[in-house]
Structure 1
Amino acid sequence: MNYPTPPTHSQSLSDKIEQLRSHCQINILPSWVCWRGDLEITDVMQSNFLHWQPIQLNDKQQVVWNQGKHILWLGQKFTVPDSLYDYPLSGLCARLSLTWWADAVEVYLNGNLLSTGDLFDCSPRLLLSQGVKSKDEFFIVLRLVSPEHCDGALMHSQMIFESGIGDDIDPGLIANELAIAQTRGKNLSSTEWNRLVTEIEELMNFSCGIKTQADWKSLLEKIRQTYLRIDQLTSIKNNKLFLLGHAHLDLAWLWPVQETWRAAQNTFESVLKLQTEFSELIFCHTTPALYAWMEEHQSWLFTQIQTQVKLGKWEVLGGFWVEPDLNLISGESIVRQLLYGQLYFLEKFGKISPIVWVPDTFGFCGTLPGFLNQAGIEFFVTQKLRWNDTSQFDYDLFWWQSPDGSQILSYMSPPIGETIDPVKMTDYLSTWESKTGLANALWLPGVGDHGGGPTRDMLELARRWKNSPIFPETEFSTAENYCQYLKSSVAILPAKLPVWQDELYLQFHRGCYTTHADQKRWNRQCENLLYQAELFSTLATAIYGLPYPKTELETAWKKVLFHQFHDILPGSSITQVYQDALPEWQEVQQLGSTLLDRSLRAIACNINLPEPPQPDSIPVIIFNSLNWERSEVVKIKPPHAQHWLIHDLDGNQLPYQITRDGLLFIPTIPSIGYQIYWLSPGDVDENKCGQESYLEFCLENEYLLVRVNVQTGDLESVFDKIQLREVLKGAGNQLQAFADKGQYWDAWNIDPDYQSKPLPPAKLQSIEWLEKGIIQQRLRVVRQIGKSQFTQDYVLQTNCPILKIENSVNWQEDQVLVKTSFLLNLHSDIATYEIPCGVIHRPTHPHTPSQRAKWEVPALKWADLTADTNTGNYGVSLLNDCKYGYDIKGNEMRLTLLRSPHWPDPQADRGEHQFNYALYPHTGSWQAAETVRRAYNFNIPLNVLLNPETKKSPSPVFKNNSFLALTADNLIITAFKVSENDPQSFILRFYECHGESSNLPTLNLKSEFFTLGNPLDLLERNILPTVNPIAPWKISTFQVLTQER
């Protein structure tokens, strides 16, 4: 005969805990009646809703109704019984505990609105009565709206009766204390634990027949004494939980930005009101952009916040202008997030934040500590890596080190959006102590995502549990105080903290590198545009006295920074967010273009022109915004239809090519400077027009011979003519489409199994030559994937070892992922990817779970695979102008081009797209091949002014027209601007890009203009003199001094 397994003592104690809870808690989930469709609450109360249809629970014992904003009404009448299993209820508080998954919820008590909620404020404990009497009746009605993308659900409905007196006890309190004891008692000896459980069981057996509150209280006190005698359980009072009110507020997500302002106002008003009653409450909030809006539109509220900050009751956190995505933005964008954020805090609240607080950002680039160290940041805090889908992140407290050697104390905070749950809090504390050796932990009570913050119930629970003898000490404090506690504790820990020298990769939300490609393109273009507009505006101010457009540039930058928020730029918001974002991006583009054009024309007005080669020649001034000489193809559009020639300053005619939409030639422009050319009328040269027909679909220049497959449109060969080797070992630029369905977080997540769901290959529709001249060859391939058309131009230019692929796509797929693939004729265990102001190396043959989880990774402008060969290093770089998702496995290099998720924006990515990428085979390492410079060139074209107004005086003409250059080749200038603190001072920022030390550069060429001054941090404050040489990957900022010309 098979006998049942006897319960363990832990199971037995769990049974007793549930028995105690049954004396004060009632599951009312099966008792709801329902009405499907909308009603007015007055009609509900007048129509005797108790005659509605009884609810049917699903197999998970939940109330479920259809997705798509469908409305479900639930109602029930609850009558307070005399007692629950002999525990009298009279005089106790009555609370309704609910948990739902619904887009919007209204809770009515006796016909009056009691509370509202949504997807985020979804687990309230609502006070129905401060002291019930037997036979009291509560008419409870819920109006629930299902989410657009998934079914709605009511998962939990419970009536709770508890003591309303802080020191008083009830069965629920003792049950929770026993649950805490159960967790804390895991290390007790079996003898001691068995004795405890036996005593509790014996006492519980005496509960039968007890009828009065006084007798119950006596019994509960006896039960409590059984575990209070055990030092290992009561020693929890030696631990402390620091509490900090919190309300994560996404600036946009499932709601538009305008709703965020209302949510912020409601949250802040609620917190300030609660602080008048609960003087212990300290609250924190990030996002200077949000405070700036509040200052402008609700100044009375902003003033109150300033007062609370001074009193130490409100902590401004974060440092960044918003909580941005930190995989997809440039290094200079990270700088501006910190610069504008910290300076705003300093101006409005008297101090900068020492903490970067980014609990919800989707991963963090490995160079971030180098930025934070230079912006007054001492601590990095997130909790997002708890969302990993493959392997748990190893550390809760660690030093994070960037490639330049910068370290920052980093802390994996508790989850956000939590309540005061004593069992969960003590479990977290125990886990924290076991992992770190530290006795004190932080807890963040408060409703979040859509704002909300701490509730009255949370604060009352905090007060009640503060008095429990088996609950840790609690104290409201600030994040800064807690982080300083961590810092001081690190010095006395017996073991050194681990040092993490890698990115903080989130094993989740990999689709965010690609979704809403329009946002990625706008962001990249605006970052590049503002760099140029600021650079040339500064030069025009410093050299020629043009008024500096500080306000306009700051306005433009802050719009870009705002839309780098971690639910806007990643593409994970609703349709309206992107409809609202479009005019903001367009405004930045218009403003940046105007400022750039104005500054270039101001410089042009001070340029002396030589005598033209012909009286009717037109000057062309070409500007280079990058700090190295560039010689590359530009296109100009002559003013009217006739034949034109191009001459240099000495009157020499240059090679050119006429195309359908302009004239191509190759100028040479110095570092951050300009050069003058002449456009002159002339006779057409048939050899330079390149209009003849070519039947063979091969592109060729002095570097590459490229052959296109006439059946597929793929590259079938890319031959390196210099090294005499084939670059490909299979198809190149093969468009690969996959079904990408089944993910709840549709916009965020790529189906992990997408590789097993390939769709039919792209169908070639046409292939034709558009250009084949002495400057440029252009071969157009048109292909079809499903309902979508890809128009791709293979472009090969003279004197250039790069094959460009220019794309125009009409994308009309649903839940499809498309990549471009290059099978390379080389192998390496490591691939290199650009990240903000640096690179990261990732394995191409992953071995560990955490490595295998990186099957889709972020990068900025390029990725590279370089192999050691018998004849030296050889590699291939894949450049892009607005894409971010890569994967390189073995010898296959892929770039993710487009996705088409349904939720939360069913229109995401459908429509027209323009983007470019390029294949760059090279000899030697990516450093020797100057991949970084090639990628910058690919993203930031030369600027052309045709026939601008220039200086008419007969002054000498300079042939070396560089305003600014650095003597070191491995330094990239990322900003040249007017100082935030001194309008007469200028700021130059650059970073080391090759991982090699560099001598401190000098500014050469136009040395009569500029010299390097003091080194500064990213907030433009003086720091100790920079060590020479500059460390690899170091970001450096200097004051620039001007001299009379």
Structure 2
Amino acid sequence: MNKKAHIISHTHWDREWYLPYETHHMMLIETMDTLLDTFEKDPDFKSYHLDGQTVLLEDYLEVRPERRELLEKVIKDGRLKIGPWYVLQDEFLTSSESNVRNLQYGHKDAGRYDKEVCKVGYFPDSFGNMGQAPQILKQAGIETAAFGRGVKPTGFNNEVSADDKFESPYSEMYWESPDGSKVLGILFANWYCNGMEVPTDIEEAKEYWAKRLDDAGKFASSNQLLFMNGCDHQPIQTDLSEAIKVAEGLYEDIDFVHSSFDEYIDALKENMKDDLQVIKGELRSQQTDGWYTLVNTASARVYLKQWNQLCQTLFEKVAEPIATMAHNYGFEYPHHLFEYGWKSLMKNHPHDSICGCSVDEVHREMVARFDKAKDVAKYIIKESLNYLTSQIDTSEFAKLGDKVYPFLVVNTAGYNRSGVVEVDVNIVKKYFREGHPNEIAKEMRKVTLPKFKVVDINGNKIDAKITDLGIKFDYDLPKDKFRQPYYSRLVRVELETKNIKSFGWDTYALIEDTQEIDASNQNSLVKENVLENEFIRAEVQENGSVKLLDKTTNKEFKDLCIYENTGDIGNEYIYMKPVGETPLTTKDVKAKIEIKEDLPYKAVIEITHNWEVPASANELLQEEIEEVLEFKYRKSQRVDKMVPMIIKTTLTLEKSSKGLKVKSSFNNTARDHRMRMLFATDIESDIHYTESIFEVAKRDNHTYETWENPSNCQHQHAFVNIHDENYGLTIANKGLNEYEILNDDRNTIAVTLLRSVAELGDWGVFATPEAQCQGEHEAELEIIPHGKNIYDSFKEAHIFQIPMVTKEMSIQNANLENNNSLLEINGYGIMWSALKLEGKENNNILRVYNLEDKESTLEIINCKIKGSKYISNILEEKTQNNIDSTVNLRKSEITTIGIG
């Protein structure tokens, strides 16, 4: 049987990268115009793969709406292949639910064109691939994945070498998720440009095909050879039909076809060998020399990652659950607003965007997009909360007197929780319609506030801090009339809530306190340099480090929260410490230690380091950058000049918390360096665990024998953990996506707070002065020790990221109880991921996943949602009707349950 050369036309379209978005956008318009013209002029130009992302259709039609009919025609005719994603995301830097929304909206967009989505899990240039991808794809009806990285080494300019030490001898393999789901994997072993610019000249074609056929044959497991006719922003090859005819004339034993992924995969499955390797879990290029994993994009422009974590959390862990809670009591779930908001956010999720490895103009625009997405999420939260508060009965508070100011606290997490929250309460307000604003302002200033206290619905006093914020201008936006500005006298209430149920709420009130405060009865959580509650004891040392005792296990951890600083002469993609440099740390720097707050429910210690670090790299670095000298061979060092690095670290311990909250603030005046916080664990283990997409990934502390890179940084989401059979330590974070387990005999966890570099890197000279990230920075972490039940610490890490929602209320008669819960879930090792509504039948969707490597059982209890329960796939399509409230999950399974 003849070999067949499948030539698939495509372009890998980075929406923004080495040029700003709109420049790439204008280039896309020209590319799409040429493509549509080529389809019309050349019937032999059979198909084109639109890079697996439907956002390009939106981008094109935004400028060329008059070409919609022609675009729809080539899609319906099967010539233009679209989907399955909305954008080509970086999988490791986007959350589990972001990856799901990306797939869902890609499928929805493709469905609008009355054509089935291209069922290929397309990851051409992801900087590593998530371990649960096969399970996610299988649930979406996708049996094949195509990817460019993670299995074999990709070097400078994407050069790939064959080596039988690596996971697969072929470019085809099976890829298996932890739950056992398996898809056919296709590696772009010769990259996704191995069939670009096919010559029409016979002599050039002979040389071209001799090399390309040989290269493809080195990796292929069958006589079906894949040639990708395109590359990054590659123009359409309009003479491809002629080029294919030339190739056909050169080889009698090879069939050259203008193909598609569907045709290629069908032919491949009929002809591939039986001995394909099975690769399992994450594809992170660990069996390589370690230089080109591109993992350090997790710390390029950390501020972007913090923005992303905030926005993702607001949508998936606050806005969707609270809108669902409100919907079950009559609120109209705003699907259209969620789609707009999610898409605004996901436009920041392509790999060159969220990875922070583009030119400065790109990342400036990203901040504006994040701001826009945040505002959409907050609007949905506000509207949902307004409706929910209108339905909750607070009449019981009327018994407490005339001056009673109720407020609501909502827990949108899938776990019961306690914790400290804040709410602003208007004690008195007066609208501008009632007088001149100047006079109203004066009147508000003269208001004398009584001494207040906070009580629960039964009148029991709750420990709280009440702060007079003075007068405030604000306004209402009624649904039925013009805006209503007012001045108010505002107080801020901070209190510790107790065990608010999952997807639930509780009500409190601010009332006048007529009793004298007895300070002798107040319990203190702080004494000198020690913070202590019933669970942990944290002692601050002279150098500002923390010695922490877990009272439940009697395990003590030392040398926590030490800062490390090194030079970085790499780029936005890759960290590179100057050769021979010894890291600086605060281990021998004396710190200033102050008690900032001492309240019955929380205490705060502030630690100040007056430190100095080198100002920058020396002048040689700029020369090496301008010469496009590969970072591995750079000789530049840091200068002798030092600049101040004043770091303020606040430690907060709440009365009921099992973790110590850490906030680091500093003004970065240095360049070409990296800042990390170190947590020595002193736990003997060769492995560690970190949250990834729908799993807690188990990773080796040590590298493979092929590894050369002195650094072994990795990706994380909410936390990283090391434990043995008796105890462990979890370090949670907010938007700090890079960590490393140091090879220091202490299994120290190093979390990157900042990385400052001067250039984009990659294939040319692109200066990125804003990637030095100068100015004010803030980072938040939580230290969570644990005993044998590791999952409690993982839940605590999730809760750390999710804010509780608060709102002042009025005293009213209404239908809903003053404390309530929509539903609760139980199950050892089972984590909550989503509570939302699906868009077709408006049913409730609960998504969970099992962290256990064995079957576990989910119980849905106290469920207030009406309707029957069923199982759906990741696209939220029904697969099994009429289940009960107990669901068995196989090991590592992602399960979506519909109710309605």
Q: TM-score, normalised by structure 1?
A: 0.70
Q: For 1:479-521, what per-residue CA distance to the aligned partner results, in whole angstroms no more than 9, with x for missing partners?
A: 121112222334xx342x2111120114421221111122111
How much does 1:886 deviate?
1.1
Contact 2:44 2:241 in 1 (8 A): no
Q: Is 1:480 aligned to residue 245 of structure 2? A: no
What one-letter code is carried by the residue in structure 2 that aligns with 1:402? S
Partner of 1:618: 405
Q: Does 1:917 align with 2:781?
A: yes
Task: Check 1:688–1:650 CA distance in 2 against 1; reply closer, same or farther (3 A cut).
Answer: farther
Secondary structure of the 1:1033 match is coil
Aligned mates of 1:755, 1:566 — CA distance in 2: 32
**How far 1:771 sits from its partner (Å)?**
0.9
Seen in structure 2, the aligned counterparts of structure 1 residues 278 and 637 have a Cα distance that, compared at 3 Å, is closer
AA aligned opposite 2:95? S
Q: Is the 8 A contact 2:8 2:260 kept in 1?
A: yes
What's 1:749 paired with?
Answer: 574
Instruction: Report SS of the residue matched to 2:28.
Output: helix
The amino acid of 2:264's aligned partner reads Y
Matches within 5 A, 1:786-805: 786=613, 787=643, 788-805=645-662
- Aligned partners of 2:724 and 2:295: how far apart in 1? 27
Instruction: Tell me which amino acid in the other structure corresponds to 1:449.
Output: D
**Which is higher, the Rg of structure 1 or of structure 2?**
1
Offset of residue 555 of structure 1: 0.4
- 1:981 paired residue number: 840
Partner of 2:795: 933
Q: What is aligned with 2:74?
A: 308
Identity fraction in percent:
22
Where 1:363 maps in the other structure, the secondary structure is coil
Maintained 8 Å contact 2:81/2:117: no
Measure how far apart 1:294 and its partner are: 2.1
Q: Which amino acid aligns with 1:899?
A: R
1:416 equivalent in structure 2: 192
What is the distance in 1 between the residues matched to 2:854 and 2:516? Answer: 50
Contact 1:690 1:771 in 2 (8 A): no
Aligned partner of 1:990 in structure 2 is 848
Counterpart of 2:109 in structure 1 is: 344
Please give the residue correspondences for 1:88-487 in structure 2 after superposition, counting only pairs within 5 Å: 238-276=2-40, 278-281=42-45, 282-286=47-51, 287-316=53-82, 318-385=83-150, 388=154, 393-395=166-168, 396-413=171-188, 414-417=190-193, 418-420=196-198, 423=207, 425-446=209-230, 448-454=231-237, 456=239, 460-469=242-251, 472-487=254-269
List aligned pairs for 1:832-847, cutoff 5 A: 832-847=689-704
C-alpha contact (below 8 Å) 2:553/2:786 kept by paired residues? no
Q: Are the counterparts in 1 of residues 549 and 556 from structure 2 also a CA contact under 8 Å?
A: yes
Distance 1:754 1:975, change over 3 A: farther
2:554 pairs with 1:724:
yes
Which letter maps to 1:536? Answer: I
Query: Hey, what does 2:677 align to over in structure 1?
Result: 820
Shift of 1:312: 3.8
Q: Does 1:767 align with 2:593?
A: yes
Contact 1:352 1:376 in 2 (8 A): no
Given that 1:740 and 1:754 are in contact with CA atoms closer than 8 Å, whether structure 2 keeps it comes out as no
Alignment of 1:620-639 (within 5 A): 620-637=407-424, 639=426
Q: CA RMSD in A?
A: 2.9
Question: Aligned pair in 2 of structure 1 residues 958, 1024: CA closer, same or farther (>3 Å)?
Answer: closer
Name the residue aligned to 1:1017.
873
- Could you say which residue in structure 2 is the equivalent of 1:646? 454
CA distance in 2 between partners of 1:689 and 1:347 (Å): 66
Q: Which amino acid aligns with 2:30?
A: N
Partner SS state of residue 779, structure 1: strand
Structure 2 partner of 1:182: none
Report how far residue 1018 of structure 1 moved: 2.1
| Cα distance between partner residues in 1 of 2:512 and 2:521 | 15
> Out of 509, 523, 531, which is 1:699 matched to?
531
For the Cα contact (< 8 Å) 2:7–2:257, is it kept in 1? yes
Q: CA deviation at 1:265?
A: 1.3
Q: Match for residue 601 of structure 1?
A: 386
CA gap 1:688/1:374 in 2 versus in 1, 3 angstroms = farther
Query: Residue 223 of structure 2 contacts residue 271 of structure 2 at CA under 8 Å; is this kept in 1?
Result: no
Deviation at 1:980, TM superposition (A): 1.6
Contact 2:224 2:271 in 1 (8 A): no
Deviation track 1:451-506 (CA, whole Å, cap 9, x = no partner) reads 423254x654443222114783311110121112222334xx342x2111120114
Aligned-partner residue type, residue 314 of structure 1: L
Aligned equivalents of 1:776 and 1:798: distance in 2?
A: 6
Distance of 2:367 and 2:463 partners within structure 1: 41
Q: Rate the CA distance shift 1:619–1:425 in 2: closer, same or farther, 3 A.
A: farther
- Report the alpha carbon displacement of residue 994 of structure 1 after superposing the two structures with TM: 3.8
SS in 1 for 2:185: strand
Q: Which residue in 2 is equivalent to 1:903?
A: 759
Partners of 1:546 and 1:959 lie apart in 2 by 18
2:332 match:
547
What is the rounded CA distance, in whole Å, between the counterparts of 1:850 and 1:1011 in structure 2? 54
How far the C-alpha of 1:990 sits from its partner, in A, is: 2.2
Task: Mark the CA change 1:646 to 1:667 in structure 2 (over 3 Å): closer, same or farther.
Answer: farther
1:565 is aligned to: 350
Partner of 2:505: 674
Contact 1:321 1:337 in 2 (8 A): yes
Match in the other structure for 1:76 = none
Distance 1:582 1:431 in 2: 42
The CA deviation at 1:919 is 1.0
Deviations 1:347-369 (A, max 9, x none): 21511121022211111111111
Partners of 1:518 and 1:836 lie apart in 2 by 21
Shift of residue 434, structure 1, vs aligned partner: 4.8
Kept in 1, the 8 Å contact 2:175–2:278? The answer is: yes
Residue 351 of structure 2 aligns to a residue whose secondary structure is coil
Aligned length: 779
Contact 1:397/1:436 (CA < 8 Å) preserved in 2?
A: yes
**2:372 maps to which residue?**
587
Contact 2:531 2:539 in 1 (8 A): yes
Cα 1:402–1:694 change in 2 (3 A) is closer
Distance 1:308 1:924 in 2: 58
Q: 1:604 to 1:996 in 2, by over 3 A?
A: farther
Distance 2:527 2:855 in 1: 51
The aligned amino acid for 1:952 is N
Question: Matches of 1:339 and 1:988 in 2, distance apart?
Answer: 15
Q: Whole-Å Cα distance in 2 between the matches of residues 455 and 494 of structure 1?
A: 38
* Structure 1 residues without counterparts, runs of 5 or longer: 1-236
- In 2, distance between residues paired with 1:605 and 1:272? 53
